């Protein structure tokens, strides 16, 4: 990676403690260069990058067919389409490369984030002094950020026993508690239990069991939702059903399980292979129109780009992108996990930190749409991209060295 790219990555990481200003998206400005590098003759794309490109093309096509005007709207990239910003940063850093161990400079952004967190706790917005937003617009955004930061620092501490990472873990965990983000806290607890009982063994099996448990819940709640008249939020009507008000997206677990999850399942059932279209979940007053077997579209809908989501990334992906999109997502994260495993050969602490961070992101995505949330995913993906790039750099240098010895 060029020096400017590496510098932008760490500036972005240093200012990921807030979403009031968009400093954390700085690497995205190098995206055009990253796209050009795809066509560079000597560059061999890693499997996870090739899979990511396929996933992105699939999402772009889905958006074009559903609502092409979305690409011209700022709110789309900020909300429904934040995938393009969050993962565009990961792609950019990955393509530009990195020839420096990110651990050498990591403490600088962490110190900046810790200072900003203390300032945010004292002077930031809060609800009755109990629920703190810190320097974010929403308490769940703060909770997602501090959940992944706690996980990363804890992973470092468990290997190298550094007092710095012990202190940062405690501070970020305190911030997580103060944000009152219950889903993120639960995700961190489950991640810790998984590590201390199974040491992150059998990750794919554990993940599939985790997904299957959610399907069991919606298999119970979906029929209840059907019998209740397919109620949804925002005082909207669905298939002529009675309007319902008073259901908040950020509400209780009951609201999510009985209203928001079944709505995503209903979208999926009506178009299981391709989904209803990227960015379609929060649209209102729609009807289904069957085009082909296993493929329907929404008609007469009120298209909008809001914070409304299924409060479950997996059901959200199935609703909007169908089975094909879900499988591409799954393959992408499997390949990322393999890369994180490879890092263990030269940086066990970094590898464990990234595993902690990834599992917190995956598990918390069962109660929020965390897989694309910038506040949680951007700091994690920046560190992940820098780490994988440096791992590739070491591998290439080792290969060149062995080739020279053969000669």
Supply the range of the domain harboring residue 113: 3-204+314-406
Q: Which of 250, 284, 313 is the last residue of a domain?
A: 313
Q: Within this chain, do residues 125 and 194 fall inside the same structural domain, yes or no?
A: yes
**CA–CA distances in Å: residue 311 to residues 123, 252, 275, 280:** 29, 11, 17, 14
Q: Within this chain, do residues 194 and 214 fall inside the same structural domain, yes or no?
A: no
Q: Within this chain, do residues 101 and 42 fall inside the same structural domain, yes or no?
A: yes
Q: Within this chain, do residues 49 and 150 fall inside the same structural domain, yes or no?
A: yes
Q: Within this chain, do residues 321 and 264 fall inside the same structural domain, yes or no?
A: no
Q: Within this chain, do residues 217 and 336 fall inside the same structural domain, yes or no?
A: no
Q: Which of 280, 313, 346 is the last residue of a domain?
A: 313
Would you call 281 exposed, middle or buried from its count of C-beta atoms within 10 A (0-12, 13-18, 19+)? buried
Total number of domains constituting the chain: 2
Would you call 53 exposed, middle or buried from its count of C-beta atoms within 10 A (0-12, 13-18, 19+)? middle
Q: Is 310 in contact with 264 (CB distance < 8 Å)?
A: yes
Q: Within this chain, do residues 361 and 396 fall inside the same structural domain, yes or no?
A: yes
Rounded-to-integer distance, Cα 164 and Cα 375, Å: 23
Q: Within this chain, do residues 148 and 223 fall inside the same structural domain, yes or no?
A: no
Would you call 394 exposed, middle or buried from its count of C-beta atoms within 10 A (0-12, 13-18, 19+)? middle
- Per-block mean pLDDT, blocks of 10 residues, the chain (407 long): 83 96 95 92 88 98 96 93 97 92 96 98 90 94 97 98 98 97 96 98 97 96 90 46 39 80 95 96 90 90 87 96 98 98 96 98 95 96 96 78 47
Q: Within this chain, do residues 153 and 294 fall inside the same structural domain, yes or no?
A: no
Q: Within this chain, do residues 151 and 60 fall inside the same structural domain, yes or no?
A: yes
Would you call 199 exposed, middle or buried from its count of C-beta atoms within 10 A (0-12, 13-18, 19+)? exposed
Q: Within this chain, do residues 309 and 248 fall inside the same structural domain, yes or no?
A: yes
Rounded-to-integer distance, Cα 37 and Cα 25, Å: 20
Q: Within this chain, do residues 48 and 197 fall inside the same structural domain, yes or no?
A: yes
Q: Which of 313, 348, 373 is the last residue of a domain?
A: 313
């Amino acid at each position: 990676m060029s020096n400017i790219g590496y510098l932008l990555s760490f500036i972005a990481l240093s200012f990921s403690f807030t979403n009031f200003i968009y400093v954390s998206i700085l690497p995205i400005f190098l995206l055009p260069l990253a796209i050009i590098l795809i066509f560079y003759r000597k560059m061999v794309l890693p499997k996870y990058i090739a899979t990511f490109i396929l996933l992105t093309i699939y999402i772009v096509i889905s958006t074009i067919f559903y609502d092409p005007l979305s690409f011209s709207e700022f709110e789309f990239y900020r909300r429904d389409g934040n995938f393009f910003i969050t993962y565009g940063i990961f792609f950019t850093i990955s393509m530009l490369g990195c020839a420096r161990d990110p651990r050498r400079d990591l403490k600088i952004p962490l110190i900046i984030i810790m200072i900003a967190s203390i300032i945010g706790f004292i002077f930031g917005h809060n609800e009755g002094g109990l629920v703190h937003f810190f320097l974010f617009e929403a308490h769940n955004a703060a909770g997602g950020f501090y959940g992944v930061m706690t996980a990363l620092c804890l992973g470092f501490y468990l290997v190298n026993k550094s007092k710095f990472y012990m202190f940062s873990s405690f501070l970020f965990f305190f911030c997580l508690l103060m944000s009152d983000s219950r889903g993120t806290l639960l995700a961190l607890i489950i991640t810790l239990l998984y590590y201390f009982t199974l040491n992150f063994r059998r990750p794919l099996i554990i993940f599939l069991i985790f997904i299957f448990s959610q399907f069991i819940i919606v298999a119970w709640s979906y029929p209840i939702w059907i019998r209740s008249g397919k109620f949804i939020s925002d005082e909207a009507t669905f298939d002529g059903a009675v309007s319902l008000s008073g259901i908040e997206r950020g509400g209780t677990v009951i609201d999510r399980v009985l209203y928001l999850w079944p709505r995503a399942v209903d979208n999926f059932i009506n178009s299981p292979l391709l989904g209803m279209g990227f960015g379609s979940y929060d649209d209102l007053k729609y009807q289904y129109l069957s085009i082909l077997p296993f493929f329907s579209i929404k008609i007469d809908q009120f298209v909008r780009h809001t914070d409304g989501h299924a409060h479950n990334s997996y059901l959200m992906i199935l609703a909007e992108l169908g089975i094909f999109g879900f499988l591409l997502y799954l393959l992408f994260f499997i390949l990322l996990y393999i890369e994180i495993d490879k890092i263990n050969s030269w940086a066990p602490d970094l590898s464990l930190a990234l595993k902690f961070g990834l599992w917190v992101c995956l598990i918390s995505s069962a109660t929020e749409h965390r897989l694309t949330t910038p506040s949680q995913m951007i700091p994690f993906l920046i560190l992940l991209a820098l780490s994988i790039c440096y791992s590739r750099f070491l591998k290439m240098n080792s290969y060149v060295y062995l080739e020279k010895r053969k000669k």
